[in-house]
Amino acid sequence: MHSPLVTRRRLAAFALATLPLTAVATSSATKPKDLSPVVVTATRTAQSPFDVAASINVVAAPPSGNLDVNASELLAGIPGVIARDRQNYAQDEQISIRGFGARSTFGIRGIRLYTDGIPATMPDGQGQVSHFNLDSADRIEVLRGPFSALYGNAAGGVIQLFTADGTAPPQLHLGLAGGSDGLLRAEANARGVTGALDYNIDFTHFQTDGYRDHSRAKRESGNAKLGWKLGEHRTLTLVLNTFNLPDAHDPQGLTPAQYLQDPRQASTSAGPYNTRKSVSQQQGGLIYEDQLTENGTLRLMGYYGKRRVEQFLSVPTGAQASPLSSGGVIDLDNAYGGADARWTWAGSLAGKPFDLALGVSYDNQRQHRLGYNNFVGNQLGVHGALRRNEQNRIYDFDQYAQATWRVSDDWTLMAGVRHSRVSFQSTDAYITATNPNDSGRVHYSATTPVAGVLFRLSPKAHLYADWGKGFEAPTFSELGYRNDGISGLALYLKPARTRSGEVGLKLEPSAQSHANLALFRADSRNELAVATSHGGRTTYQNIDRARRQGIEASFNMRFAEHWKASIAYTWLDATFQSPFLTCASFCTTPDTPVPGGMRIPGVPRSNTYTALHYGADSGWQFDLDGSYMAAVPTNDLNTVSTPAYALFGLGAGYITQLGRWRAHLFGRIDNAFDRRYVGAVIVNAGHNGYFEPGPGRTYLLGVDLRWEPQG
C-alpha cells in the first residue's frame, strides 16, 4: 500500500507526463476562442505570451463567484508562484516567486509590484498587495525569471495588476457576499464611456471576524481609473486609490504544539498586548501617452502617495528596559512618489520587425519613524514613552533599455539592461546618554543585463532560453536592526546578486489549449536571510551562496464548448549552498552552525493546482479545484516543517437576465473535507511561533448584479 505522499507525487508526475497528450485533445467542435491575451510586462510593448522569450502568465479577473478580496485567489494557478492567505490581515499576504520573497515575515519582498504601471513596491524593495482592487481589475500579469531584473531592485519576479477600461455601453455592478467567520464583502462599481472620457470607479468594503481568535479585520478600498482621449494618438489616464485598514487584529504565529492543541487560538501574547495594525493609504498617478511619430511613442508617468502605519507588537516589557530598545509600538508616516519616462519605438531593423524601449525612473520615499513603549505602568497594548524618532529617506534612480528583434520567421532575440542605484539615509532625533546617535547612510548600485532567444519549432511549438543578472538591496526594515546587539542600522548588509537562467517550451496546439514547461536555475551571492528573531524584532544577515532550481509546468484548455480545465505544477529545490550561523533558540547573536545544503525556509519542494469549470454566459456554472502543498521548512536548521496537505473546493452558480439586470447567484465551499493545515509560515520566528493555520471548511454565498442600458 502506497503512502499518501507517494501517491500525490505519482499523481503530479502523471499530470506532467500526460500534459502533451491532453494539450492536443481539444474537441474540434469547440468554438474558436483565443485564450492567449496580449501582455506588456515582459517587453513593455504589446506581445502575445506565446511569442515572448520569457516565463509570463496572465490571469483574467473573474466577473464574480469568488470572494475577490485577496490576490492569492487569482495567483493560485500560476506555476512558480506561492501565494498564501495568512488569515491575518495585519500582515498582508505572503507571496514568493521561485523561492524569492519567502523570508518575508510581513508585506512582500523580493518581488516588484505594480498597479497600472504605478509601483506598489517602495524604492527599498518592500511592497504590499493589500490595496490591489480586484473588483475593478481586468487582469494580473506575472513575469518570472531573468527578465524581471529589468524592473530593478527586488526583481525576483514582477506582479502587475491592470484596471479594466470603461465599457460601452456603461455598466453598474453591485455585489454582496457573506460567509463563514463573519465574512462580509460589499462592492459597487461603475464603468462606462462618455465622449472622450472612459471611467472605472469602484468601492469595496470587507470585514471578517477571522478564523482564529484575535484576527478580526475590516478594510475598505476605493479605486478610480479615468482616461481621456486628447487626440487621435494622445491619451491621459488618472488612477486614484485609497485604502483603509483600522485596527486589524494580529493573532501571531503558533508553535507546533499550540497548532496541534487548537489551530484557532491566538498566540499567548497576542491578547494581553492587543497586537494589532492600522493602515491608511491614498495615492494618485497620471499617465500620459503620445504617439509622436508613426513608429515612436512617448509615455510619461508620475505618482504621489501617503501611507500611515501604526502597529502594536508583543515585545515583552522586560525587553524594553534596555536603553537601546525602540519599544513595542511602531508609528510610520510615509510620503512617496516618483516618475517614469519611456520612449518606445516599433519599426524594423535590417528589414525585420524591431521594438525598442528606453526609459528612466525615479522613486522617492520619506519616512518619519517613531517608536513607543507598548505599556504604561501595568497597562499593556497602549502608547507609552517615546523610544525612537528618526527621519528616513530612500530613493532610487534607474535607467533601462530593452529590445525585441524578430530576425527571421523562426527566431526572435530579446535583450535588455538596467542600471539601478538605491540610496538610504537615516537621521536620528532620539539621542540620549545611553542611546547614541544612530544616523547613517548607505548606497547600493548594480547593472543587470539580460538576454533571451525564442525559436519557433512550428506554428504550435516555441522553444526559448534566457539568462541574466539580478539585484536585491536590503529593505529598510531589514536595515533597521543590527544582529550583534549593538544599536544603529545594519549598514553592513550587502545586496544580494543573482545569476539566473531558464529554458522553456510553449505549446499552443489550438486557440483553445496552451501548455508551458520551464526549467530554471538561479544562483545568488550574499543571500539575505534571517539572523535573529526575539523580543518582537527580526534581524538579518548575508549568506554567501544560495541556489534555487526547479521545473514549472502549466496547461489550460477549453473543451466541449463550455468546459475549461487547467493545471499548474512546480518542483523547486531552494538551498543555502554555504554554511553559516543561526539562532537555534533564544539568542541575541547567531550561534548555531547551519551546514551547507540546508533548504531555504518558507519554500515547499513542490505544489500543484488544478481547476475545472463549466459554464456559459448564462445558466448554471460549476467549479471544482484542488491544490497540494508539500512540507515547508520553517527554520534554517530544517528541524520544524509544516505537514504536507491537499485541499479541495467547489462552487456553483446561476446566471440569469432580469430585464436590464444580469444576476449571478453563487456559492462556494472551500477546504471541503475540513482538512487541518498550515496556510502560511513565519520564517525563523522567535519562540518557535512558525505556524499560521488556515481555516477549516468554509462557506461563501453571494450575488453579483450588473446593469446595462438596453440597446
Give pLDDT tens digits for 383-410.
Answer: 999 999 999 999 999 999 999 999 999 9
Of 377-381, 590-594, 695-699, give the lowest mean pLDDT range. 590-594
CB-CB neighbours of 258 under 10 Å: 18
Which pLDDT score, from 0 to 100, does residue 530 have? 83
State mean pLDDT over 352-356.
96
CB-CB neighbours of 644 under 10 Å: 18
Nearest to 684 by CA among 631, 630, 626, 640: 640
Which pLDDT score, from 0 to 100, does residue 26 have? 34
**At 365, is the pLDDT very low, low, confident or very high (cuts 50, 70, 90)?**
very high
9 membership: H or E segment, kind and range: helix 4-17
Is residue 13 pLDDT above 70, yes or no? no
State mean pLDDT over 89-115.
89
What does the block give as the cell for 76? 493560485
What does the block give as the cell for 498? 543573482
Is residue 614 pLDDT above 70, yes or no? yes
347 contact partners, CB below 8 Å, separation of at least 6:
295, 353, 354
**At 212, is the pLDDT very low, low, confident or very high (cuts 50, 70, 90)?**
very high
**At 679, is the pLDDT very low, low, confident or very high (cuts 50, 70, 90)?**
very high
Tell me the per-residue pLDDT of 110-166, one tens digit each, with 9 for 90 and over: 999 999 999 999 888 888 888 899 899 999 999 999 999 999 988 789 999 999 999
State mean pLDDT over 555-583.
94
Separation of alpha carbons 23 and 515, rounded Å: 7
Give the strand pairing for 94-97 and 81-84.
Answer: antiparallel
Quick one: what percent of the chain has pLDDT higher than 90?
A: 76
Is residue 463 pLDDT above 90, yes or no? yes
State mean pLDDT over 211-222.
96
Give burial (CB, 10 Å; 0-12/13-18/19+) of 100.
buried
Q: Chain centroid to CA 211: how far?
A: 22
What one-character-per-residue DSSP string does 164-231 give?
A: PPP-SS-EEEEEEEEEGGGEEEEEEEEEEEETTEEEEEEEEEEEE--SSTT--EEEEEEEEEEEEE-S
Q: What is the DSSP letter of 8?
A: H
What are the residue ranges of helices labelled H in 341-488? 476-479
Tell me the per-residue pLDDT of 61-84, one tens digit each, with 9 for 90 and over: 876 667 788 888 889 899 999 998
Separation of alpha carbons 223 and 220, rounded Å: 10
Nearest to 273 by CA among 319, 238, 235: 319
**CB contact at 8 A, 44 and 646:** no
510 contact partners, CB below 8 Å, separation of at least 6:
26, 30, 460
**At 30, is the pLDDT very low, low, confident or very high (cuts 50, 70, 90)?**
very low
Separation of alpha carbons 296 and 290, rounded Å: 9
Tell me the per-residue pLDDT of 522-544, one tens digit each, with 9 for 90 and over: 999 999 888 887 666 788 899 99
What does the block give as the cell for 342? 519611456
**Per-chain mean pLDDT for the chain:** 90
Of 26-40, 631-645, 661-675, give the lowest mean pLDDT range. 26-40
More confident residue, 354 or 92: 354
Cα atoms found within 13 Å of the Cα of residue 513, Cβ hemisphere only: 21
State mean pLDDT over 629-639.
95
pTM of the model: 0.92
**CB contact at 8 A, 150 and 398:** no
Long-range CB contacts for residues 583-588, cutoff 8 Å, separation at least 24: 583/531, 583/532, 583/533, 583/534, 583/684, 584/637, 586/534, 586/686, 586/687, 587/532, 587/534, 588/484, 588/485, 588/532, 588/534
Which pLDDT score, from 0 to 100, does residue 6 have? 39
- In the three-class reduction of DSSP (H, G, I as helix; E, B as strand; rest coil), residue 623 is classed as strand
Which pLDDT score, from 0 to 100, does residue 477 have? 85
Q: Which fold has domain 4-707?
A: Maltoporin; Chain A (2.40.170)
Sorted by where each begins, the domain ranges of the chain are: 4-707
**At 251, is the pLDDT very low, low, confident or very high (cuts 50, 70, 90)?**
very high
Separation of alpha carbons 327 and 324, rounded Å: 9
Give the strand pairing for 112-115 and 157-163.
Answer: parallel
Which pLDDT score, from 0 to 100, does residue 513 have? 93
Is residue 270 pLDDT above 70, yes or no? yes
Separation of alpha carbons 285 and 297, rounded Å: 19
Name residue 227's beta-bridge partners. Answer: 198, 237
What does the block give as the cell for 38? 496580449
Tell me the per-residue pLDDT of 470-487, one tens digit each, with 9 for 90 and over: 999 998 888 888 888 787
Is residue 353 pLDDT above 90, yes or no? yes
Nearest to 142 by CA among 166, 122, 162: 162
State mean pLDDT over 17-34.
35
Nearest to 417 by CA among 470, 353, 472, 464: 470
State mean pLDDT over 290-304.
96
Separation of alpha carbons 348 and 356, rounded Å: 10
**At 25, is the pLDDT very low, low, confident or very high (cuts 50, 70, 90)?**
very low
Of 70-84, 263-277, 298-312, give the lowest mean pLDDT range. 70-84
Is residue 1 pLDDT above 80, yes or no? no
State mean pLDDT over 559-565.
91
Q: Chain centroid to CA 538: how far?
A: 21
Amino acid at 379: Q
